[in-house]
Amino acid sequence: MSCNVDTNWLDAYVDESCSAEEREGIETHLRACTACSVETLSRMHTKRAIRAAASRYAPSPEFQRRVEASLREETTAGKSIWAVVNPFRSHGWLAQMSALAVALVLVVGSVLLWTSHVNRQQALAQLLDLHVATTASSNPVDVLSTDRHTVKPWFQGKLPYAFNLPEFQDTPFKLIGGKLVYFRHTAGAQLLVELRKHQISVFIFQDQSGMRVASGSVREKGFSAESWGEGGLRYTVVGDATAADIHQLAELLRAAGH
Amino acid sequence: MANYAGDTGTFEQLALPHFASLYNFACWLTRDRVAAEDLVQEAFLKALKGFSSYQQGTNFRAWIYRILRNSFLTSRAGLLAGADLSLDSEEFSQEAVDGVGMEPEARAAQTPESILFARIEQETIQQALEELPVHFREIILLCDLEEMSYHEISLTLGIPQGTVMSRLFRARKAMRNLLAAPPEMRPEASAGERNERSSR
């Protein structure tokens, strides 16, 4: 670089960790200095590339369940399910039959839970595919507007239900638009939201058993997702932003839905 | 930059959204999936036990990342990387940064930026991250992957904000050197790094 500017400045600018006053000063300098502009673009590019490459490891659902279980166990101070069954111990055969019945219920319950879990994982994978296809498209949305009062009415007459959208002003999120999508033979809404160059999809469908995806916060192939049901609708937020960012957007949508 | 200040809620509400990110971070620290699982589980249990000490309304993400990092530092892998971490002070020599990933001959031959960009591919970056000393790797991950502000990083690592900036500067310089130097031109890994690898 031929310019003598402090490169810590450029890093702080790229990392969005400078004050508004500093930011303005840097932008003024960048407009006048080609060397610093090129250097800043290079740093932004590297930062983005590192972010993509470093999102490498995802925990298995089994591991997450194990940790959640150990947290629950810790919370109940070591009281296991068997402690609840204990009162039957003094009643001989009745205790054995009860234990057998409990075991049977647990086995049947586990099979049903597992089947349901697999279905929900498949649903999530399909929504991820829809999101990736949308972001890769040259025309990602059918209605292009940052105004929720334009996007929401666009779905009138196209969907047999209505939903509320939050006010994105004063939040880091920006509404891009929306489009009609079909998932498992059912029409639904897909909204595209931007957060610092990350594109996030919000899917809204009627809450039926086949439409459900893994609830709560999940991470899959570098993408984060969060899903919940409310007012007969199933909301799923998917994107390559962090789980905390996805959760923040989900909270905004939940607040709007109330 | 997302605002994580002012977090309130139950432990599960606050902690579980960070589960996947903490696991990814733990994998990069330990470079071993089994050790990462142990580390995450240990950090979550410690955080749950110490949740009463968490001041509601403050930055939860920085708090739980700090617990995970402290757990790593007291683990076997962390202790092996300890020598590596102790080198990281404001007096850490510029030579050490310049030397990461480059032989003197390679350093002399300045690689053009265009070549650098051409080499920035996922596998190259992942390999470079793996080769970085752990104190550089963690600060790059917190800043570039987790998109933490300098203030959040200073809370997580327990260092002043000025140190965050200077360490980040050195870490990125070391990263650029690794990306610009072909693997065959890189020097042998340091003793600390070799120990870290042998622990996997």
The predicted complex's ipTM stands at 0.72
Check residue B64 and give its pLDDT.
94
Cα–Cα distance list, B18 to A138, A153, A216, B2 (Å): 33, 35, 12, 14
Closest by CA to B21, choosing from B3, B40, B35, is B40
Residue A166: left if φ>0, alpha if ψ -120 to 50, beta else—which one?
beta
Beta carbons of A45 and B120 less than 8 Å apart: yes
pLDDT tier at A201 (50, 70, 90 boundaries)? Answer: very high
Class at the top of the CATH hierarchy for domain B8-80: mainly alpha
Which of B3, B41, B120 lies nearest to residue A67, judging by beta carbons?
Answer: B41
Best of A18, A39, A67 to disrupt the B interface by mutation (most B CBs within 10 Å)? A67
Q: What is the CATH number of the domain that holds A162?
A: 3.30.200.100
Which residues of chain A lie closer than 8 angstroms to B149, CB-CB?
15-17
User: Are the C-beta atoms of residues B26 and B40 closer than 8 Å to each other?
Assistant: yes
Beta carbons of A216 and B16 less than 8 Å apart: yes
Check residue B199 and give its pLDDT.
37
Cα–Cα distance for residue pair A10/A18, rounded to 1 Å: 9
Q: For residue A252, is it within any domain?
A: yes
Question: Is residue B155 predicted with pLDDT exceeding 70?
Answer: yes
pLDDT tier at A144 (50, 70, 90 boundaries)? Answer: confident
All CATH 1.10.10.10 domain ranges in chain B, comma separated: 92-200
Beta carbons of B144 and A47 less than 8 Å apart: yes
Same domain? For A159 and A34 the reply is no
Query: Domain count of chain A?
Result: 2
pTM: 0.53
Class at the top of the CATH hierarchy for domain B92-200: mainly alpha
pLDDT tier at B63 (50, 70, 90 boundaries)? Answer: very high
User: Are the C-beta atoms of residues A71 and B45 closer than 8 Å to each other?
Assistant: yes
Of A84 and A191, more confident: A191
pLDDT tier at B67 (50, 70, 90 boundaries)? Answer: very high
Of A243 and B67, more confident: B67
Q: For residue A230, is it within any domain?
A: yes
Closest by CA to A123, choosing from A231, A248, A55, A208, is A208
- Least confident residue range of A7-21, A106-120, B160-174: A106-120
Best of A2, A15, A62 to disrupt the B interface by mutation (most B CBs within 10 Å)? A15
Beta carbons of A54 and B44 less than 8 Å apart: no
Beta carbons of A71 and B33 less than 8 Å apart: no
Check residue B90 and give its pLDDT.
42
Q: How far is A28 from chain B (nearest CA, A)?
A: 21
- Fill in the amino acid letter for A38: V
Same domain? For A32 and A126 the reply is no
Q: Give the chain A residue nearest B153 (alpha carbons).
A: A17
Check residue B191 and give its pLDDT.
41
Which of A63, A67, A242 lies nearest to residue B146, judging by beta carbons?
Answer: A242
Q: For residue A183, is it within any domain?
A: yes
Structure tokens at A31: 């407009």
Q: For residue A237, is it within any domain?
A: yes
Domain span at residue A39? 9-54
Same domain? For A152 and A231 the reply is yes
Q: For residue A18, is it within any domain?
A: yes
pLDDT tier at A78 (50, 70, 90 boundaries)? Answer: very low
Q: How far is B71 from chain A (nearest CA, A)?
A: 16
Beta carbons of A247 and B149 less than 8 Å apart: no
Of B107 and A73, more confident: A73
User: Are the C-beta atoms of residues A187 and A180 closer than 8 Å to each other?
Assistant: yes
